[in-house]
A and B are shown apart, each in its own frame.
Chain A
Amino acid sequence: MSSAATRSPFVESQLAAPASPLPGAGVPWLDAARREHLAAFAEAGLPTKHVEAWKYTALRALAQRKFSTGDAQAAARAIDASAFALPGVDGPVLAFVNGVFRADLSQLAQLPDGLELRPMSQALREDPEPLRFTLSRYEPEKGDVFVRLNAALAGDGVLLKVVAGAKVAAPVHLLFIGAPAEGDVAWHLRHVIELGEGSELSLVEHHAASGDQRHLGTTCTDIVLREGAVLHHAAFQDAAPGAALIRRTKLHLGARSHATVHVVELGAALARHDLQAELVGNEARFDTRGVFLLHAKQHGDTQLAIRQQALNTTTDSVWRGVADERARGVFRGAVLVEPGADGSDCNVQNKNLLLSEQAEIDTKPELVIYADEVKAVHGATVGQLDERALFYLQSRGIPQAQARGVLTAAFCRTVLDDLPNAELRAYLGDRLVAQLPA
């Protein structure tokens, strides 16, 4: 708990008035909700390592830093949009620079049938009322102070809706660019995504940078899949080497819906991703594939938390981690099967490679099971490449260094195997390989 006297420089800096007025400011219920969240954030302060969810991710350094609340110049910064195009991703684009929507970098003309897509800032200015329930909703998750901060200061984000039965073929590109600014900026985005009954959507979440900076970005994403909806979500995190990025993605899966999430984490000095899924409908299915590849002094922390609450739900998670140099990789894969959630099937597999004496991996696969008709399996390993595989390749005349490279690349690329978008799969695979030590 922090009083005014003991607040960290970080918390103090976030209590300052926003650089430019937040979209939606002046709407009474929104002002009230934002004030409440900001007060709760100031009261709680940043979590210490004694908070279980932050045990392996120290925020001491962040707590000592100051960030301006938003970037007033974000709309004017020169950005070359073509630099951020992704192969195989040719649908609508919604782009943000330092947390501010940029119409000039976005591609929202001729949206496919059944797709509603616009920035939250626009909705807040035009007609905030439909967002009232979503944005004023109180979400007191223990230790989740960044959700508070986000709720208090996010003025923009993605509003996406696929109407029932619509199948949107072209992947939607959500682009978040960190651009160098006069000082360190903290930006916050709130995304609300809904897939109607029987609809289908392919989504690419892309974090990138137009130059090195040390901004802090937080995103809160809520994704709802109604009955029978199908979502392919690929998240490619390629933020600036100095950036701090704290994300929370929460999926709510209805009956017979199916979400597949692929995550590739390459950038940022501090990248924290809370990926949460609630399987509330019978026969919902949630598959995740993810990899982080860390070097220098990067700190990557993925917290996967799955709640299986209905009958015959299935989750399958395959995560890989590689830590080199002085990097530290953290993974938590928790599955909770609630009472009565019979027929639940869950599998979490986490494998990690440590490539250097100074690197560290902390992994925590958790199972909390309250139903007996379940099949729950998890496995986790930390180690090196398989010596036998290495020997095999060497015996075929491949030099050791190259053999290591091939095996490490294969180790990481596994998670992309079932990414349906072939061009994107190839691109992400190449980016992974490019970041591996030579």
Chain B
Amino acid sequence: MSSETNDSTATVLRDNAEVAEVLGRQYSAGFITQIETTGLPPGLNEETIRQLSAIKHEPEWMTEWRLSAYRHWLTMEEPKWAHLKLEPQDYQKISYYSAPKKKPKSLDEVDPAILDTYDKLGVPLHERAALAGVAVDAVFDSVSVVTTFRKQLADAGVLFCSMSSAIRDYPELVQKYLGSVVPPGDNFYAALNSAVFSDGSFVFIPKGVRCPMELSTYFRINAQNTGQFERTLIVAEAGSHVSYLEGCTAPKRDENQLHAAVVELVALEKAEIKYSTVQNWYPGDENGKGGVYNIVTKRGECRGDDSKITWTQVETGSAITWKYPSVILRGDRSVGEFHSVAVTHHYQQADTGTKMVHIGKDTKSKIISKGISAGKSNNSYRGLVEVKKSAAGARNYTSCDSLLIGKKCGAHTFPYMEVKNPTAVVEHEATTSKISDDQMFYCRSRGIREEDAVSMIVDGFCKQVFRELPMEFAVEAKKLMEVSLQGAIG
């Protein structure tokens, strides 16, 4: 688009009252919920960790696990390799625990303000959940508030609860699998998380069980100066199947809030885990003030033969996204997939991608990444495909497309391919382009408004990934995209 066209587009947009209204629409999950919370004062040392562990009535081994992670963390430095402008964090200013004061025993006792919060966010906690067919674990600041459908799930043999209850109720399972995919010292943020994680979801699907409903977690940061450090562990035993959804929001605040989560998935023989995320943390305002730092270590291990792990993510929020959902393909014939749409606008920065590590024979991986940058944002795909010597017959296909909307944004691709087996086939292709004038002209000549045309073209660009999302999430994702890209043209 020439600069003249750009100017005229801008004028048209400004003149259009309807568009002006749309441009004014903002982050709708940015409200603050007024409830009483208890928490630890800001600061981090061994004593904080002991206190945190004590509040949660954790067994001795868990406290020790946290402390050893903390001691390791002290020896580490914040990674600097990502294509991000990230100010060093002051980890002593963060409160590592915040929880609603009243402890609910059942859903009826949950603070109405919190239920109201989830209601505003559209999380189906009550019977509505039954209609939606989704079991929800909702995490508010640091603790899991409620887990719905526990009984129905238990009948099927599925364990779905908060990580805190899992540590109390199923210590042998937690001990066996926690940290087995992402070791406590894996990286700076994973070590921090291992030391201070407050809560999260635990899912265990026993042998041969197909989880009867979609499982879902909704994360929300509410309190000021808190970091959210949740930890999710999903174990799918041989022949089982589970689909898991994750959504996130936070209130609008001027300070940056840190979210450093760890997600571990274990798929045993012939098991399948589908993990979908719609990430809509507060992205900061149009001047880049505030917003969540979303720094997440997500990794799945296809431990058994013929197992499969699929990551699907739609990243629209966060001031900074640092996230590489990965799959270790250890079992023979195991399959890893990664489908991603990452949208950045204003001053958002995203450095996201995946790692596929092929270890077993005839393992397959597929990576589809769509990056959309608008405003003054930067959006990077960073991925590693590694084929170890043992991975005979490994196959990978990677496709990364970037779409630029505007002159001041950046779209970057950093794929790494390391191949040590001659029977492997690894393919990577990437393109970067903008919405072409031809496409826009065609739509406009058919009477489609500029905003709608962009939305339509972007939707088409992302279709391949949206298809992978469970239906209710696909609808949400599409809406989020529209909201995120408002005002991007012109």
Using a CB–CB cutoff of 8 Å, the interface residues on chain A facing chain B are 52, 56, 339-340, 352, 354-357, 359-384
- Asked whether A364 lies within 8 Å of B417 as measured between CB atoms, the reply is yes
- Asked whether A374 lies within 8 Å of B433 as measured between CB atoms, the reply is yes
- Asked whether B428 lies within 8 Å of A379 as measured between CB atoms, the reply is yes
Using a CB–CB cutoff of 8 Å, the interface residues on chain B facing chain A are 1, 81, 83, 387, 389, 402, 404-434
- Asked whether A369 lies within 8 Å of B425 as measured between CB atoms, the reply is no
- Asked whether B430 lies within 8 Å of A377 as measured between CB atoms, the reply is yes
- Decide: A372 near B434, CB < 8 A? Known: A360-B419, A360-B420: yes
Contact of A380 (CB < 8 Å), options: B404, B415, B421, B422: B415
Chain A residues near B418 (CB, 8 Å)?
56, 360-362
A376, closest chain B residue (CB): B432
Chain B residues near A56 (CB, 8 Å)?
418
Contact of A382 (CB < 8 Å), options: B409, B413, B426: B426
- Asked whether A361 lies within 8 Å of B412 as measured between CB atoms, the reply is no
State the CA gap A366–B416 with chains docked (Å): 9
Chain B residues near A340 (CB, 8 Å)?
407
State the CA gap A369–B429 with chains docked (Å): 16
- Asked whether B419 lies within 8 Å of A369 as measured between CB atoms, the reply is no
- Asked whether A382 lies within 8 Å of B417 as measured between CB atoms, the reply is yes
- Asked whether A363 lies within 8 Å of B420 as measured between CB atoms, the reply is no
Chain B residues near A367 (CB, 8 Å)?
402, 411-413, 430, 432
- Asked whether B414 lies within 8 Å of A364 as measured between CB atoms, the reply is yes
Given A372-B407, A378-B428, A379-B429, 18 further pairs, Cβ under 8 A: A339-B407, A354-B419, A356-B422, A357-B422, A361-B417, A362-B418, A364-B414, A365-B415, A367-B413, A369-B410, A371-B407, A373-B434, A376-B432, A379-B427, A380-B426, A381-B427, A382-B387, A384-B425
Contact of A376 (CB < 8 Å), options: B83, B415, B427, B433: B433
Q: How many A-B residue pairs have CB under 8 A?
A: 114
Chain A residues near B412 (CB, 8 Å)?
366-369
State the CA gap A357–B387 with chains docked (Å): 12
Chain B residues near A366 (CB, 8 Å)?
412-415
Task: Return 13 A-B CB contacts under 8 Å, by A number.
Answer: A339-B408, A354-B419, A357-B389, A364-B417, A366-B415, A367-B413, A369-B412, A370-B409, A372-B405, A377-B432, A378-B430, A380-B417, A380-B427
Chain B residues near A339 (CB, 8 Å)?
407-408
Contact of A378 (CB < 8 Å), options: B407, B410, B413: B413
B433, closest chain A residue (CB): A375
- Decide: A52 near B81, CB < 8 A? Known: A364-B414, A382-B426: yes
Shortest distance in angstroms between B284's beta carbon and chain A's nearest beta carbon? 21
State the CA gap A52–B81 with chains docked (Å): 9
Contact of B406 (CB < 8 Å), options: A356, A360, A372, A377: A372
Chain B residues near A384 (CB, 8 Å)?
422-423, 425
State the CA gap A354–B422 with chains docked (Å): 5
B403, closest chain A residue (CB): A372
Chain A residues near B415 (CB, 8 Å)?
364-366, 380
Give 7 nearest A-B pairs by CB, closest first. A383-B425, A376-B432, A354-B422, A372-B404, A382-B419, A367-B413, A379-B429
B389, closest chain A residue (CB): A357
* Residue in A339, A362, A367, A370 whose Cβ sees the most chain B Cβ within 10 Å: A367
Chain A residues near B389 (CB, 8 Å)?
357
State the CA gap A368–B378 with chains docked (Å): 10
Chain A residues near B427 (CB, 8 Å)?
379-381, 383
- Decide: A373 near B1, CB < 8 A? Known: A367-B413, A380-B415: yes
B434, closest chain A residue (CB): A372
- Asked whether B421 lies within 8 Å of A362 as measured between CB atoms, the reply is no
- Asked whether A369 lies within 8 Å of B422 as measured between CB atoms, the reply is no
State the CA gap A368–B428 with chains docked (Å): 16
State the CA gap A372–B432 with chains docked (Å): 9
Shortest distance in angstroms between B275's beta carbon and chain A's nearest beta carbon? 27
- Asked whether A354 lies within 8 Å of B424 as measured between CB atoms, the reply is yes
A344, closest chain B residue (CB): B432
State the CA gap A19–B87 with chains docked (Å): 49
State the CA gap A373–B415 with chains docked (Å): 23
Shortest distance in angstroms between A51's beta carbon and chain B's nearest beta carbon? 11
Contact of B417 (CB < 8 Å), options: A357, A362, A370, A372: A362
- Asked whether A382 lies within 8 Å of B431 as measured between CB atoms, the reply is no
Contact of A365 (CB < 8 Å), options: B81, B410, B428: B428
B431, closest chain A residue (CB): A377
Shortest distance in angstroms between A333's beta carbon and chain B's nearest beta carbon? 11
Contact of B430 (CB < 8 Å), options: A359, A361, A365, A375: A365
Chain A residues near B426 (CB, 8 Å)?
380-383
State the CA gap A356–B412 with chains docked (Å): 33
Chain B residues near A356 (CB, 8 Å)?
422
State the CA gap A153–B265 with chains docked (Å): 54
Chain A residues near B417 (CB, 8 Å)?
361-364, 380, 382
- Asked whether B410 lies within 8 Å of A355 as measured between CB atoms, the reply is no
State the CA gap A340–B432 with chains docked (Å): 15
- Asked whether A369 lies within 8 Å of B430 as measured between CB atoms, the reply is no
A346, closest chain B residue (CB): B432
Chain B residues near A381 (CB, 8 Å)?
425-428
State the CA gap A359–B419 with chains docked (Å): 9
- Asked whether B405 lies within 8 Å of A382 as measured between CB atoms, the reply is no
* Residue in B402, B405, B414 whose Cβ sees the most chain A Cβ within 10 Å: B414
State the CA gap A21–B430 with chains docked (Å): 51
Chain A residues near B434 (CB, 8 Å)?
372-374
- Asked whether A370 lies within 8 Å of B410 as measured between CB atoms, the reply is yes
State the CA gap A354–B419 with chains docked (Å): 8
A377, closest chain B residue (CB): B431
- Asked whether A369 lies within 8 Å of B404 as measured between CB atoms, the reply is yes
* Residue in B1, B405, B427 whose Cβ sees the most chain A Cβ within 10 Å: B427
Contact of B429 (CB < 8 Å), options: A361, A364, A378: A378
State the CA gap A359–B402 with chains docked (Å): 33
Chain A residues near B402 (CB, 8 Å)?
367, 369
- Decide: A372 near B409, CB < 8 A? Known: A360-B419, A382-B419: yes
State the CA gap A383–B409 with chains docked (Å): 35
Chain A residues near B411 (CB, 8 Å)?
367, 369
Chain A residues near B404 (CB, 8 Å)?
369, 371-372, 374
State the CA gap A360–B388 with chains docked (Å): 10
B418, closest chain A residue (CB): A362
- Asked whether B432 lies within 8 Å of A369 as measured between CB atoms, the reply is yes
Shortest distance in angstroms between B461's beta carbon and chain A's nearest beta carbon? 15
State the CA gap A382–B396 with chains docked (Å): 10
Chain B residues near A363 (CB, 8 Å)?
417
Chain A residues near B414 (CB, 8 Å)?
364, 366
- Asked whether A364 lies within 8 Å of B81 as measured between CB atoms, the reply is no
State the CA gap A360–B416 with chains docked (Å): 13
Shortest distance in angstroms between B144's beta carbon and chain A's nearest beta carbon? 39
Chain A residues near B416 (CB, 8 Å)?
362, 364
State the CA gap A80–B277 with chains docked (Å): 68
Shortest distance in angstroms between A292's beta carbon and chain B's nearest beta carbon? 15
Chain A residues near B406 (CB, 8 Å)?
372
State the CA gap A306–B404 with chains docked (Å): 20
B420, closest chain A residue (CB): A360
State the CA gap A375–B433 with chains docked (Å): 6
A366, closest chain B residue (CB): B414
Contact of A383 (CB < 8 Å), options: B413, B420, B424, B433: B424
A360, closest chain B residue (CB): B420
B399, closest chain A residue (CB): A379
B374, closest chain A residue (CB): A372
* Residue in A356, A365, A369, A381 whose Cβ sees the most chain B Cβ within 10 Å: A369
* Residue in A372, A377, A378 whose Cβ sees the most chain B Cβ within 10 Å: A372
Chain B residues near A357 (CB, 8 Å)?
389, 421-422
Shortest distance in angstroms between B166's beta carbon and chain A's nearest beta carbon? 37
State the CA gap A381–B421 with chains docked (Å): 13
Shortest distance in angstroms between A352's beta carbon and chain B's nearest beta carbon? 8
State the CA gap A143–B259 with chains docked (Å): 33
- Asked whether A379 lies within 8 Å of B430 as measured between CB atoms, the reply is yes
Chain B residues near A380 (CB, 8 Å)?
415, 417, 426-429
Shortest distance in angstroms between B487's beta carbon and chain A's nearest beta carbon? 16
